[in-house]
Amino acid sequence: MTDRMSLTLAQADPLVAAALEQETLRQHEGLEMIASENFVSEAVLEAAGSVFTNKYAEGYPGRRYYGGCEFADIVENLVRDRARQLFGGEHINAQPHSGSQANASAYAAVLQPGDTILGLDLAHGGHLTHGHRLSFSGKLYRPTFYHVRRDTEQIDYDELEAVAEKEKPKAIIGGASAYPRLWDFARMRQVADKVGAIYIFDMAHIAGLVAGGVHPSPVPHAHITTTTTHKTLRGPRAGLIICTQDLAQAVDKAVFPGQQGGPLVHVVAAKAVALGEALRPEFRAYATQIVANCKALAEAMSEAGFRLVSGGTDNHLILVDVFQKGILGSEAELALGKAGVTVNKNSIPWDTNPPLKPSGIRVGTPALTTRGMKEPEMRQIAVWIAKALEMRNDDAVLERIRGEVAELANQFPLYAWRRPPVAVHAY
């Protein structure tokens, strides 16, 4: 070991250490309401920052292209076993580095370039990898789309069926990144069977709710289910694939060597830890509270006069039509950021504004629920959001709200090793 190898981060690289310190403070002092984000446990963090990062393990447990993989095999097998226990699928691929790579692998396993796919339009809540023209999915395959209905703003399954019959897709893709309602998995599978398509469901946003038993599961219906592990599932930033046994070999080959080289073994280890946590009874209570919090937030936002897309929520997020009050989503995101509430601007279905200045914001409860916040805090937060949006051009008001937000956040501490200072940190 050279001397430099044993330095702490602060000694070795003060610039990175300072950025990390600031990010830690930001996470502690603000209210994290980006629907796709969460806070992992100390155990997940420890596994993700472990010496497994040093290991190459191309191949699969028991069939590696490198020596010294016996402990990598243990953690990868734990992911497979725990995911099977949690979600009930026949085969698990534990290696995707991300949700996008999980989707790319799922498609590569069952499609040829040029094949037609049918996914939810990004502008209606879908995801880039479900066929958007700028994503590999829209370049490599021929994308077609279904939408939400204008009246209910919920998935238009009749349209989906009509498009499927006309376009004869090889794969029908379900799942979304900004959809607050339940899915009709059985109806989608019925349509897929009718037109001879593979049914792929990307449950990235709702995986933790499915694991916690508070959301129906797509796994019994879909041929392939993909997910990220870092959203409601509260694991490390990564992906996972669940499929039927007959597709196992094609999926495994599509991940490695098709899409990826060596798995990130430290992240695989962290996935194992997170899945172990999700199997515990406390996780059911956590998932239940995410949804209860979201419903409380939805109600309070409605009472404050905001229109919610689809009128409410069944899951962990709401989509607020702020443009109905003459506010752009981009303005709302900025004002709320100044007030210490982190959300993202988001298009709403049938949006008349462009994606960078859309009509909505997406607000989610998974991260704050991890901090232990419940319905009363959600109602208080709705009051702050309404006030910050009304006074969006008054920096003094936003700064005052930021102080109140930090006070609340400090009552729900995150990581024990880094308590925030009492005063609001200026960054």
Helix residue ranges, H only, 328-394: 329-338, 366-370, 375-390
Site string for ligand DSN, 343-382 (x = CB under 6 A): ----------------------------------------
Q: Which is nearer to ligand DSN, 204 or 336 (CB)?
A: 204
Pairing label, strands 307-308, 317-321: antiparallel
Nearer to ligand DSN, 80 or 316 (CB): 316
Catalytic residue among 46, 58, 115, 159: 58
Site string for ligand DSN, 19-58 (x = CB under 6 A): -----------------x----------------------
Contact 302, 308 (CB under 8 A): yes
Whether 199 sits among the annotated catalytic residues: the reply is no
Catalytic option among 24, 26, 37, 56:
56
Report the candidate in 342, 274, 346, 343 with the shortest Cα–Cα distance to residue 309: 346
**Nearest alpha-carbon partner for 138 in 156, 114, 161, 162:** 114
Q: Is 313 in the site for ligand DSN (CB under 6 A)?
A: no
Coil, strand or helix at 32: strand
Least Cβ distance, residue 174 to ligand DSN (angstroms): 15
Catalytic (active site) residue 58: yes
Within 84-123, which residues bind ligand DSN (CB under 6 A)?
99
- C-alpha 215/C-alpha 183 separation (Å) is 9
CB atoms inside a 10 Å sphere around CB 394: 14
User: Cis omega before residue 143 (within 30°)?
Assistant: no
23 annotated active-site:
no
Minimum distance, C-beta of residue 177 to ligand DSN, in the bound complex (Å): 3
202 given a catalytic annotation: yes
Cβ atoms 98, 228 nearer than 8 A: yes
Do residues 405 and 31 lie in contact, with contact meaning Cβ atoms separated by under 8 Å? Answer: yes
Binding-residue pattern over the window 124 to 153 for ligand DSN, x denoting contact by CB under 6 A? ---x--------------------------
Nearest approach, Cβ of 103 to ligand DSN (angstroms)? 10
Q: Which is nearer to ligand DSN, 95 or 98 (by Cβ)?
A: 98
Cβ proximity to ligand DSN: between 101 and 177 the closer is 177
Assess whether 371 carries a catalytic annotation. Answer: no
Residue 357 falls in the annotated catalytic set: no
Residues 422, 424, 426, 427, CA torsion sign? positive
Which candidate in 231, 234, 371, 402 is catalytic? 231
Across 40-166, the runs of DSSP E, i.e. the strands, are 59-60, 63-64, 91-93, 116-120, 142-146
User: Where on the chain is the footprint of ligand DSN (CB under 6 A)?
Assistant: 36, 99, 127, 177, 204
| Residues forming the active site | 56, 58, 202, 228, 231, 237
